[in-house]
Amino acid sequence: MVMAGTPEKVIDYLLETRMNNNNFEEQFNKESLFEDFLLTFPIFITWKHMTNSLLRHYKIDEMNFRQMEDYIVDNKKRVARFTLLWFKISADAFLNCKTITIFLDELIDLMEKDNLKHDNHFETELTSLKNIKETKENYNLNLEMRGTIVYKADNSNSVRRMSNINEALFAKSPDETDKIFKLTAIKEFDEIICRLYCADHTYTTLKTTMDTRAEIIRNQAAEKLNLDNSVDYTLVELKSDNERYIFNETELNIATTLSLNGRIFISHKDHLDALTTLPEQEGTTIGSIFKLESFSSQEIAYFLTNQTWKLFFNIHPYEFIYLVFGRHNFNDITANLDLCRRNFNELQYWAITEVLLEKSLSRRVQILKKLIKIAGYCKEYKNLNSFFAIIIGLSNVAISRLTQTWEKLHNKVKRIFTQYESLIDSSRNYRRYRLLLSKFDPPLVPFVPLLIKDMTILHEGNKTFVDQGLVNFEKMHLLAQTLRMIQDCKSGSFQIQSPATLSMKKMNFPNVLQEYFDQIKVIDNQKRLMQLSYCLEHRKL
C-alpha cells in the first residue's frame, strides 16, 4: 500500500504498476489505490500539472532514445490507459476542464505520429482517446445549446433559477447524456443576480458569473453605488440574527453560500458594527402550509424527493473537496453543493416556522402530524436528507418544548417520531444512521451534512503533506471512501413510484408544489423562533 509520496512519484508508480495490459480496467475495479488517487488528486496537484506529467511520460523516447522499442510503445500505451480511467472517474469535471482539451489534442496528435512510426501499434488506444475527444466536443456543443442559466438571489426568497428558454432542459427527464453531461447542474459561467446593501438599506443589483471573486463584486458594487474609492470597503454577510461574516476577497460564489435569510452588505471596514438587518430578513409572519391542504403527505414527500435527488445528483464529488479545503485554493465553485445544503436548511426551518406560526392548538397538532408523515415518506423514498431536515427541525427546542402540542399528538405518531429522532443520535459517530444507510440499496439521497462533517474532520485531523512535500495517501484513501460512497449513492436510475392517490386532475401537482416551495419564506433566527414558541406556550418559571 502506498502511504506517502510526491505527486510525481505516485503518478510514476501508478503508470508502472497499474496500467499493465488490456485488463487494466478489471484491475482498476479490484483495488482502490488508483481510484483514490483520481478522486482526490485536486487536493495535491493541479489539472495542468497532471497533464504535463502525463505528457512527459509519453515523451519517454525523447529522453531515452536508446530504449527498446517495446518498452517505449508499452509506456506510451500506459499514458493512454491512464487518461481513459481519468475520464471515467472525473467525468463531467474532466469534460468541463479547458486544460484537458489542449491535453487531448496534443496526446492524440503525438500518438498519431507514433502510430505511423511504430507499425500501427496504437490503434486501440487512439480509437479510445478519439472517443473521449468526441464526447468532449459533443459536451461543448450541448453546453452551447444550453447557454447560460441565470439564477437570482435578489429578493426575500431563496436562490432560484430564473425562468428562461432553458425551461425545456429542466422539464424533461434526464437521459443518458445528461447523466454524464449534467447540463442542469450549475456551471462556473452561469450567472447569479444578487443585491448588495449599504448601511442605510439602499441597494444595488449585480449580475455576475458564479465564479466571480468577492473582490470583483465589491469593486463593481462600490462603483455602481458611487462609493468613495479611497475608502477601504468590505463585503460582509449579515445574518438574520445579526451575526456578521466578512468575506475574504478571494472567496467565490458568495451569493449561494449565504445563510437562508442572510444578506450581503458592503461597508467600511470600521463601520461593520453599525449595520442593521433588513425587515425582510425576519422571514415571515404568516404560515403557508394550509396552501398544501389538498396534497397528501405522500405527494409532498414525492415532490421533495425528486427535487432533492436532482440537487444531490448534480453535485460533483470534487465540490466536497473544494468546500472542505477552501474554494479559493482551487478557484472552483461549489454552487451545486451550496444549493443542496441550502435546501436542507430551508426544509428544516420551514418545518419549524410552520408549526410556530399556527396559533390554534388543534391545527398545530395537525401540522406537526403532517410534517412527521412527510418525513416518514421521505425515508420510505430513501431521501434521507429531507427526512433528517424535517426531523431535526422538529427536534429544535422551540418545537420540542411545546408540551401541550406534543401531548395532543396521537401516541402512535409520538412513538414514530421518537423512533425517527433516535436515528439522528450522534453516539458512536451516528452508528444508527450508518446502519440504516447500509440497509438501503442505491440510488438514494444520503444525509449530506454528515458527509461534509466526515470529510472536514478527516481533513483537520490528518496532514495533507507529510515531511518534504510527500502526499499523505492514507488521508486520501480515507477521503476517497466518503467520495466513493457519494458516487455509489448515485448509481442506478432513480425512479420512485408516483403516489397512488394521485388523481388525474392533480397531474399538475409537481408544478403547484414547485411554485409553493419556490416561494416559501421561513424564519431562521433562533431568537425569534424561541419568542414565538414562548408566545404559544408560556415559559414555566
Partner 1 sequence: MSYAYLFKYIIIGDTGVGKSCLLLQFTDKRFQPVHDLTIGVEFGARMITIQNKQIKLQIWDTAGQEAFRSITRSYYRGAAGALLVYDITRRETFNHLTTWLEDARQHSNSSMVIMLIGNKCDLESRREVRREEGEAFAREHGLIFMETSAKTAANVEEAFINTAQEIFDKIQEGVFDINNEANGIKIGPQLSPSNQKSSSGNQALGTGGGCC
CB of 104 to partner 1, least distance (A): 36
- Chosen residue from 245, 325, 465, 516 binding partner 1 by CB under 8 A: 245
Largest CA distance in the chain: 91
CB of 222 to partner 1, least distance (A): 21
CB of 534 to partner 1, least distance (A): 10
- Asked if 314 contacts 91 with a C-beta cutoff of 8 angstroms, the reply is no
Kindly tell me which of 51 and 343 has the beta carbon lying closer to partner 1. 343
- Chosen residue from 284, 456, 487, 498 binding partner 1 by CB under 8 A: 456
Span from 94-102, 199-207, 327-335, 415-423 in contact with partner 1 (CB under 8 A): 415-423
Kindly tell me which of 191 and 241 has the beta carbon lying closer to partner 1. 241
| Residue 488 binds partner 1 (CB under 8 A) | no
| Residue 265 binds partner 1 (CB under 8 A) | no
Alpha helices (H) in 19-97, listed in sequence order: 24-30, 33-40, 47-58, 60-63, 69-96
Distance of CA 410 to the CA centre of its chain: 38
Span from 21-29, 102-110, 423-431, 495-503 in contact with partner 1 (CB under 8 A): 423-431
The residue behind cell 469534460 is 95
CB of 244 to partner 1, least distance (A): 8
Mark residue 39 as left, alpha or beta (left: phi above 0; alpha: psi -120 to 50; beta: remaining): alpha
Span from 162-170, 207-215, 401-409, 494-502 in contact with partner 1 (CB under 8 A): 401-409
Nearest to 340 by CA among 379, 319, 381, 311: 311
Q: Which residues contact 210 (CB under 8 A, 6 or more apart)?
A: 186, 187, 188, 189, 190, 191, 192, 252, 253, 256, 333, 335
| Residue 418 binds partner 1 (CB under 8 A) | yes
- Chosen residue from 55, 108, 452, 470 binding partner 1 by CB under 8 A: 452
- Chosen residue from 27, 395, 498, 531 binding partner 1 by CB under 8 A: 395
Span from 10-18, 75-83, 170-178, 340-348 in contact with partner 1 (CB under 8 A): 340-348
| Residue 259 binds partner 1 (CB under 8 A) | yes
Kindly tell me which of 211 and 421 has the beta carbon lying closer to partner 1. 421
Nearest to 185 by CA among 338, 314, 307: 314
Give just the sign of the alpha carbon dihedral 3, 9, 10, 16.
negative
CB of 262 to partner 1, least distance (A): 11
State the Cα–Cα distance between residues 27 and 41, nearest whole angstrom.
20
- Chosen residue from 241, 249, 251, 280 binding partner 1 by CB under 8 A: 241
- Asked if 210 contacts 277 with a C-beta cutoff of 8 angstroms, the reply is no
| Residue 438 binds partner 1 (CB under 8 A) | yes
Counted residue by residue, the chain has a size of: 541
CB of 448 to partner 1, least distance (A): 9
| Residue 442 binds partner 1 (CB under 8 A) | no
Task: Write b or e for each residue in 487-525: b if 16 or more Cβ atoms lie within 10 A of its Cβ, otherwise e.
Answer: eebbeeebebeebeeeeeeeeebeebbeebbeebbbbbb
| Residue 525 binds partner 1 (CB under 8 A) | no
| 244: β partners | 238
Kindly tell me which of 182 and 239 has the beta carbon lying closer to partner 1. 239
Helix axes 473-490, 317-325, angle to 10 degrees: 140
Distance of CA 132 to the CA centre of its chain: 26
| Residue 406 binds partner 1 (CB under 8 A) | yes
| Residue 458 binds partner 1 (CB under 8 A) | yes
Give just the sign of the alpha carbon dihedral 326, 331, 337, 338.
positive
| Residue 510 binds partner 1 (CB under 8 A) | no
- Asked if 267 contacts 234 with a C-beta cutoff of 8 angstroms, the reply is yes
Nearest to 382 by CA among 499, 304, 297, 483: 304
| Residue 403 binds partner 1 (CB under 8 A) | yes
Residue 403 has a CB neighbour count (10 Å cut-off) of 10
Q: Which residues contact 458 (CB under 8 A, 6 or more apart)?
A: 475, 478, 479, 482
- Chosen residue from 66, 412, 505, 539 binding partner 1 by CB under 8 A: 539
Show contacts with partner 1 in window 9-68 (CB under 8 A). none
* Residues 319-338 as x/- pattern, contact with partner 1 by CB under 8 A: -----x--------------
| Residue 387 binds partner 1 (CB under 8 A) | no
CB of 453 to partner 1, least distance (A): 4
Q: Residue 204: what are its φ and ψ, rounded to 5°?
A: -125, 155
Task: Write b or e for each residue in 342-378: b if 16 or more Cβ atoms lie within 10 A of its Cβ, otherwise e.
Answer: bbbbbbbbbbbbbbbbbeeeeebbbbbbbbbbbbbbb
* Residues 295-324 as x/- pattern, contact with partner 1 by CB under 8 A: -----------------------------x
Residues that bind partner 1 (CB under 8 A): 241-246, 259, 324, 341, 344-345, 348-349, 392-393, 395-397, 400-401, 403, 406, 414, 417-418, 421, 424, 426, 428-429, 431, 434-435, 438, 449, 452-458, 460-462, 478, 481-482, 526-527, 530, 539-540
